[in-house]
């Protein structure tokens, strides 16, 4: 049988108009530190688009994942607020500003948490599987799953080729954070890959082996369920535990201390429990794998979390391996590590990207995108309007400039005009991307049901 060529699509989440610093993510040091700060939605969206432009310039297929509808009025109605949409928002702002912050969250922009992808080359049924994450560990992100599944089904239009699965049941035992705790390594995109599923806790993990300061979000039971749903060939999965020391340092997802793609794996020496055993198994399965472990003495866990070096976007491009790194890693200890990686030929190029609005919420370059290894026929099922080129990027930048506020304060979340502005923005976006009516406010009833609005 002839093996089809495979391209790795980068699907980036688009920052929403209600981007704010709500301090909603316990264990995420950046989110906690910047709680209550004034955000800059226009700048945040522009920075995300600039990163997408850079990926396009490297010759990689790039697409955009539209924002989820915010404010999430359906959620607020579910918890007892009533009346018109503006009345619902006013009641929430007056009596429960925390719930309003949840309903306004733009954390969906970090698409690495949206799902876990099992490509057709690795599945038992030769279909690409996209298993949407339930994000049950945090209150604001737990609102995303059903709506994201509906949107991905609207974008990938042939379920015979690309299957989008609903999130796992919303149960603490099955807490799934998506691709931020998953890594696929392969000699070639079209060849079978090795999948590394990293969890923080399992049902039988002893209390003394759990992190002491921050919670372990990903469960072993969830990782194994995702592999089953994705029809992953059993011999291509490794299930390993994240080091509790890394979680307590602020690595709330494993992609804060590890990044890998193709035949490259970069990780901190305190990334995994029984790390040498795991790496030995990976090298046995993938002899061409190059591993670089960064010692604690060269880059402490604290420095790793602050610089987000490991949350860089590693790309296997026609020009070689390219690291899209956050600007925060361009100096100090992180910069010395990068220089060593370049000198050793571990990668061929580094590009520093200014993403300070995303970084202030705890998301670097890798957080903003979901990797999808797709055959040409699978890629063809993607709604053509979300594929990016220079013309589409310029249109999106103009759209952002027209519809996004320059600044958003915590008090602005109660502004009744914000609801109208966001709906006008998303309505214009669906026209720009030729997606039709995908948001509930655009049609009655919604073609994707109430769940598309998280309610």
Looking at the annotation, which residues are catalytic? 177, 253, 367
Distance separating alpha carbons of residues 357 and 354, to the nearest angstrom:
9
User: 174: which strand partners?
Assistant: none
Cis before 71? omega within 30: yes
CA distances from 202 to 134, 209, 252, 453 (A): 17, 10, 16, 32
Q: Which residues pair with 7 in a beta bridge?
A: 374
How many CB atoms sit inside 10 A of residue 400's CB?
22
Q: Which residues contact 325 (CB under 8 A, 6 or more apart)?
A: 309, 312, 338, 350, 351, 352, 353, 365
Beta-bridged to residue 128, according to DSSP, are: 162
- Tell whether the torsion through CA atoms of 420, 453, 102 and 22 is positive or negative: negative
The answer to whether 54 touches 2, Cβ cutoff 8 Å, is no
Answer for the pair 423, 374: CB distance below 8 angstroms, yes or no: no
d(CA 31, CA 138): 12
**Tokens of residue 106, six digits:** 């733009």
The pair of structure tokens assigned to 415 is 């502004």
State the DSSP code for 100.
H
């Amino acid at each position: 049988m002839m093996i089809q060529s495979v391209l790795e699509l980068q699907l980036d989440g688009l920052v929403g108009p209600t981007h704010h610093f709500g301090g909603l993510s316990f264990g995420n040091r950046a989110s906690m530190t910047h709680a209550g700060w004034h955000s800059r939605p226009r700048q945040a969206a522009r920075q995300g688009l600039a990163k997408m432009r850079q990926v396009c310039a490297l010759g990689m297929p790039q697409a955009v994942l539209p924002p989820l509808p915010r404010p999430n009025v359906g959620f607020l109605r579910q918890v007892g607020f009533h009346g018109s949409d503006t009345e619902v928002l006013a009641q929430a702002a007056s009596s429960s500003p925390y719930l309003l912050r949840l309903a306004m969250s733009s954390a969906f922009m970090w698409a690495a948490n949206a799902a876990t992808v099992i490509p057709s080359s690795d599945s038992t049924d030769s279909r690409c599987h996209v298993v949407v994450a339930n994000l049950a560990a945090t209150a604001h992100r737990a609102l995303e799953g059903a709506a994201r599944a509906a949107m991905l089904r609207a974008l990938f239009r042939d379920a015979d080729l690309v299957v989008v699965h609903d999130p796992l049941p919303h149960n603490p035992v099955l807490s799934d954070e998506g691709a931020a705790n998953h890594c696929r390594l392969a000699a070639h995109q079209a060849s079978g890959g090795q999948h590394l599923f990293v969890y923080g806790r399992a049902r039988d993990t002893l209390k003394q082996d759990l992190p002491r300061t921050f919670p372990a979000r990903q469960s072993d039971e969830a990782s194994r369920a995702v592999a089953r749903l994705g029809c992953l060939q059993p011999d291509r999965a490794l299930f390993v535990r994240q080091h509790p020391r890394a979680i307590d340092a602020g690595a709330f997802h494993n992609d804060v201390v590890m990044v890998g793609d193709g035949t490259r794996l970069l990780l901190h020496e305190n990334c995994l429990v029984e790390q040498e055993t795991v790496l030995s198994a990976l090298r046995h399965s993938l002899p061409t794998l190059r591993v670089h472990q960064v010692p604690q003495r060269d880059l402490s866990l604290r420095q790793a979390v602050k610089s987000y070096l490991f949350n860089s976007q590693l790309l296997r491009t026609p020009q070689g391996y390219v690291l899209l790194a956050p600007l925060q890693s361009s100096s100090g200890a992180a910069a010395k590590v990068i220089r060593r990686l370049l000198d050793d030929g571990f990668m061929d190029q580094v590009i520093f990207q200014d993403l300070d609005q995303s970084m202030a919420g705890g998301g670097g370059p890798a957080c903003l995108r979901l990797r999808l290894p797709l055959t040409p026929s699978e890629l063809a099922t993607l709604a053509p309007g979300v594929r990016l080129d220079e013309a589409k990027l310029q249109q999106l930048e103009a759209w952002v400039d027209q519809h996004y506020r320059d600044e958003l304060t915590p008090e602005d979340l109660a502004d009744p005009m914000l609801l109208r502005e966001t709906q006008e923005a998303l309505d214009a976006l669906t026209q720009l991307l030729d997606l039709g009516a995908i948001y509930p406010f655009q049609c009655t009833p919604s073609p994707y049901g109430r769940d598309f609005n998280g309610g």
